[in-house]
């Protein structure tokens, strides 16, 4: 069963997203900001990271940049799931190597489709 680290500071969004992902068969570990997310990612080496951008302590872009400094972490796919919808925000995230960028609020089916597509290119397909 693939493991996903969900880094999201909005409690309601985090709980709802976790519930949907678990119903789809994923193991979900949550973190409320980039700093906590980085610690969990280091410990677990998940199959996928879903990350908000606007968070306290360490935002999502800082988190992904920090992951890029570690050879064992920089290959973990990241899907940004954020309310930041300007082209420059999306481009910046994609330039950091994000697998995808889903703008909130969105139908969770968009997120699920992106996860499935990402997983198709791994051993979990």
Output the pTM of the full model: 0.93
Q: Is residue 90 part of a domain?
A: yes
**Better pLDDT: 123 or 90:** 90
pLDDT at 68 over 60: yes
Element (H, E) at 82: strand 78-82
The closest alpha carbon to 102, from 23, 2, 8, belongs to 8
Q: Is residue 110 part of a domain?
A: yes
Domain range for residue 35? 3-120
pLDDT tens sequence across 21-45: 999 999 999 999 999 999 999 999 9
Q: Is residue 13 part of a domain?
A: yes
Q: Which residue has the tokens 């703008």?
A: 103
CATH number at residue 85: 3.40.50.2300
Q: Is residue 78 part of a domain?
A: yes
For residue 12, name the pLDDT band (cuts at 50, 70, 90): very high
Into how many domains does the chain fold?
1
Q: Is residue 125 part of a domain?
A: no
pLDDT at 51 over 90: yes
């Amino acid at each position: 069963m693939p493991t996903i680290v969900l880094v999201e500071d909005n409690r309601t969004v985090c709980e709802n997203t976790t519930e949907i992902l678990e119903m789809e068969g994923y193991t979900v570990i949550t973190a409320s900001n980039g700093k906590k997310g980085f610690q969990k990612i280091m410990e677990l080496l998940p199959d996928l990271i879903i990350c908000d951008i606007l968070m306290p302590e360490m935002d999502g872009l800082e988190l992904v940049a920090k992951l890029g400094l570690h050879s064992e972490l920089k290959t973990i796919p990241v899907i940004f799931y954020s309310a930041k919808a300007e082209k420059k925000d999306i481009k910046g995230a994609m330039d950091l190597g994000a697998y995808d960028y889903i703008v909130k609020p969105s139908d969770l089916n968009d997120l699920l489709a992106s996860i499935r597509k990402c997983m198709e290119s791994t051993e979990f397909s």
